[in-house]
Structure 1
């Protein structure tokens, strides 16, 4: 009995320890994930990964589509730049043509006055100098003709030495052609070219009966009207029969017609002055005009040089040297003549 009493505490302690162990095992089993929860978590993780991969694929497909659209649009953008480039090239060509026309006109002024000096001067040195100017300026015109766009350029006097008005035939011939490329030529293949030309034709002012009657009574006005009408016809149809927009080149042609008329007036006024002089006075006046005109010619060449390129620019650079020599020779010849005793023909 005594032994039993001793064993009871030990047994009780064992039972308590056993219960504690059972409780701990229950807690551990409760904390441990159950198999079905592990499976569900794995499924969720897989779905998230699949959704993320699908989104990445959609994003990549969208970027590829955008790249394809951009690539398809690039040729269209480049195509849209072609008219701009064509217009720039045509404008450059038209400007260079206008410059060449004006320089050819200036050379004709020099040649015309020098021919007058050849006929009326009594000084061999002046005659020799005048012939040199004729040769050099005609040679320069030969080089400039390849860049000019006007078919016929001259400085036929607007009035004679006696003030009589010259007919309008020369004025009509002077209307510049549209030889070469213009902005409208560059766009002539566009689908709306005909519509654009039709609109341009509608915008061209029509000459009224009153205008025509006034022009017929005023030869100078008739000449200007004929020049303008010729310019319009040329720009409307082109030198090769192509449709050309009159608005693109008509202004340049009108400006050149004005330049040509001014040159004729200038030559006529100088010839009127020279006609009143003889001998040394004639020579001095002629040489003085040549000095002034060569200064103007040199200024034109220098100004034009920055607006042209290539062979045209080289021609202008060479011409500057020749023009400066002419000016210097005219000044030296004036000084030489002024040191000589006055001749009986001088006034």
Structure 2
């Protein structure tokens, strides 16, 4: 890895983080995870109640990086064509013309994805997984960079269609923003007395900066012992009796790439075990199914992942 390019990306990531923090108050860890997902080419699932800043977070990230942003509000009658696009007949040319849907953007906020039908869910997730769509036999590639930030209401809410495990696995990480501490909520109100911080957010990255970061993150060194540590963690979820379904190989890949991205965010060109530990919950929490069917809340799933981390031996990696 060229140190000049590495240092440039590290400094730019610091600037990006501080820029988003001007809009999103009191959620520094969530901001870090969002940046990690973005430079890892990953999609994010937000499991949260309405009104905690999910849309603002997505917009702040997009407007900080010279990226196009679109939002879809999912409803039970949303069709796959409403997302992907459709061919429309033009009576003047006597030909069909493709009208691209909102998925043709850089950052797509898929709001309340579990309010729409499984067919529409599958249409979106297939497109974001493959980076392309096919309409009437014609292949269309999605823009690069591309990221989906999907929100999901708590499952007990009326009129929801829970995502199946195979589709949940397509999300790089799952986060829960949660409510602000009271003093931070007061600070948030003060910041919006005269105007919303989004109105004056600065663009601190070019699109090319992000594409460069997405390439350089792959070059962050990760020791073979840490790779074994990652596999041991995911394998433990498959063997532990507390789980009826453990994490698959895609989780191991996400844990590896996320650890590399977190190392870069911290200004390092090598991964340490703490990077893996920090990424374990957001990477694994939506991929595991507890054996106790009467308690599958996010807090319980997080507890189970923490228990796994306690059981798996942390490697002693020598840093040169």
Given the two structures, how large is their TM-score scaled by the length of structure 1?
A: 0.21
Larger radius of gyration: 1
Structure with the largest fraction of strand = 2
Structure with the largest fraction of helix = 1
Given the two structures, how large is their TM-score scaled by the length of structure 2?
A: 0.23
Larger relative contact order (Cα-Cα within 8 Å, sequence gap ≥ 6): 2
